[in-house]
A = this chain, B = another copy of it.
Amino acid sequence: MTSSGPIEIVATRGGAVESRHRVHAVVAGPDGDLVSVHGEAGLVAFPRSSLKALQALPFVETGAADRFACSPAELALACASHEGEDMHADAVSAWLARMGLDPSALACGPQWPRREADMARMIREGRQPGRVHNNCSGKHAGMLATALHMGEPIEGYAGREHPVQRRVFDAVSAMTGMDLSGAPVGIDGCSAPNPALPLGVMAVAAARFAEADPARLGDVRAAACRRLQAAMADAPEMVGGTDRVDTDLIRAFAGRVFSKTGAEGVYFIYMTEKRLGAVLKAEDGAPRASAAAVWNILAELGLLDGEAEAALRRHCRPEIRNWDGLVTGRVAEASEV
């Protein structure tokens, strides 16, 4: 195992460092072995939306995804933090309708589309954002599908003690190998519960999801992991959206590597070929810092080949532009400045 301090990411202006970030990152294997640690492997953090692929496991494992004949795009949406583009909102609406539900069943609150052009178009058309536009609406549709399939009340499905969430927490507990009964539980941006976990524990869970080994996880769970991976590889535009890190990364790696961002500067990286997982957390919660550190982790593991580098440079080593479009600085690892 290699270890170092946190990955130092800086934002520059006029060639000088303007702001500094520290990103803790852990790369681990499925046996619980830590491959590399930057900063503190024991740092407890909320995975937020980075956890979504694991949270989607019961939706597949219970048979709910099959019951409602869910497409790869819908499975990808269950793992997504989408941008609320029409393709996302329309897909979630259609999926809900097929289950006999309307968007009012979603516990996630209304959220404007992330991209200014989409938001502006809705405003011009006199529309308000709906719950389907919430970046987590696909995850919630998957949770509703699970409740319906299992004959559980859909009311209160986002509550920690509802069977749907208990099943999600059990899956996370099994994948991490950690008893979650004492873990802090936060309420996410979409009102679903989210456990805080040490980075090292999350990285091992990510490796197990990436490996998807029936001998380790059992046939049903291993198949669910592979099916969710295949869905994300098939419909990467549903995992994020236009001009998003996760979408561009998944597309560039074509099934060999997956990533999932979470609020407050978190990333999960699933490396299927290498059977490794990585978790990153910007100490201060800055998304620009965690996105930049994804580049470092991929490079460290020899994964930053030409195609990935081309796809990710604008996300991970972005220029900073001002209101008139002038380049005023950049985001980089500290040693690059």
Contacts and interface: CB of A to CB of B under 8 A. Distances in A.
Interface in A89-130: 107-112, 116, 120, 123-124, 126
Given A46-B18, A184-B16, A108 B324 contact: yes
Interface size class of A (residues with CB under 8 A): 35 or more
Nearest to A108: B323
A44 B20 contact: no
Contact of A124 (B14, B124, B282, B323): B124
A110 B323 CA distance: 6
B14 A184 contact: yes
A196 B16 contact: yes
A276 interface: no
Tell which of A107, A187, A190, A323 has the most Cβ of chain B within 10 Å: A323
A335 interface: no
Contacts of A15: 184
A71 interface: no
B16 A191 contact: no
Nearest to A13: B186
Interface in A303-337: 322-326, 328-329
Interface string A261-289: 00011000000000000000011111001
A16 B110 contact: no
B286 A285 contact: yes
Contact of A188 (B108, B112, B285, B322): B322
Contacts of A45: 18
B326 A187 contact: yes
Tell which of A126, A194, A284, A289 has the most Cβ of chain B within 10 Å: A284
A19 interface: yes
B111 A323 contact: yes
Contact of A18 (B18, B191, B285, B329): B285
A185 interface: yes
Nearest to A325: B109
Contacts of A126: 124
Contacts of A107: 324
A189 interface: yes
Contact of A120 (B123, B264, B265): B123
Tell which of A187, A264, A329 has the most Cβ of chain B within 10 Å: A187
The 7 closest A-B pairs by CB, nearest first: A109-B324, A109-B323, A14-B186, A19-B285, A13-B186, A16-B184, A284-B284
Given A19-B282, A109-B323, A283-B284, 6 more contacts: A14-B46, A20-B284, A109-B322, A186-B328, A187-B326, A191-B326
